[in-house]
Amino acid sequence: MFRTLTPIFSIIIALAVFFTFTRPTIDTIRAFQNEASDYQEAADKATEYNQLLQSYITTKNSFGARELERLESLVPYSVDEVRLLVDLEDIVRRHGMVIGDVSVEAGVPVDLERSKDSAKLTFENDFDYSDISLDLIGTYEQFKQVLADIEQSLVLIEVVDLSFQVTEINLQNYNLTLRAYALASTE
């Protein structure tokens, strides 16, 4: 009887040890292995992003001072609303239009998501912007010339809203809202 009970008790003890000690230890080891694999994947991605950043820095450093100055004028690090308003006023007056009300409203950062084909990165808060609303009075031909000059300016400006009122005389009232972009502050 002792010969038949010994193997049964041994199997029961082995199963008890397996389910109480070995199995939880194996599960803990697997969890640590998964966590280590996640950390390794994160480290690989960090290395990839650092290489991409280094290539961007190398590209930026390859630009000359004049090219960087031109790039800064296209997308500055901050929107200089006063300078922009002076430039817009010069453009409008050059074409014989009259400026009415002017308002400036600073916006929140704009989120841009690059497509998966380009850099495989999502850039958050890429740009700050300011909206500038102008009321203009003039003819349609003058207004077209003003828009053409705004289009040719070096500052990155987008027309976000345009409304107008037609009057019986040759002059129209235009309400133009422009958005000027700048690189987002990294603070």
Q: What is the pLDDT of residues 76-116, one digit of tens each?
A: 777 778 888 888 899 999 999 988 888 888 765 444 444 44
Domain that includes residue 93, residue range: 75-183
Q: Is the pLDDT of residue 118 over 60?
A: no
How many residues comprise the chain?
Answer: 187
Q: Helices 81-94 & 140-152, crossing angle to 10 degrees?
A: 140
Tokens at 142, concatenated: 């003058």
Would you say residue 162 lies in a domain? yes
Would you say residue 68 lies in a domain? no
pLDDT computed for residue 1 by the predictor: 67
Are residues 83 and 141 located together in one domain of the fold? yes
Are residues 140 and 162 located together in one domain of the fold? yes
Would you say residue 163 lies in a domain? yes
Would you say residue 130 lies in a domain? yes
State which amino acid sits at residue 156: L
Q: Is the pLDDT of residue 48 over 50?
A: yes
Q: How far apart are alpha carbons 110 and 129 in whole angstroms?
A: 8
Q: Please tell me the total count of domains within the chain.
A: 2
Are residues 79 and 58 located together in one domain of the fold? no
Are residues 91 and 177 located together in one domain of the fold? yes
Are residues 143 and 106 located together in one domain of the fold? yes
State which amino acid sits at residue 144: K
Would you say residue 167 lies in a domain? yes
Would you say residue 70 lies in a domain? no
* 54-82 tens-digit pLDDT: 988 888 788 888 887 777 766 677 777 88
Q: Is the pLDDT of residue 125 over 80?
A: no
* 79-90 tens-digit pLDDT: 778 888 888 899
pLDDT computed for residue 16 by the predictor: 84
What is the pTM (predicted TM-score) of this model? 0.54
Are residues 84 and 176 located together in one domain of the fold? yes
CATH number, domain of 92, equals: 3.30.70.60
CA 65 to chain centre: 25
The more confident residue out of 138 and 120 is 138
Are residues 122 and 151 located together in one domain of the fold? yes
Model confidence at 117, in pLDDT bands (50, 70, 90)? very low
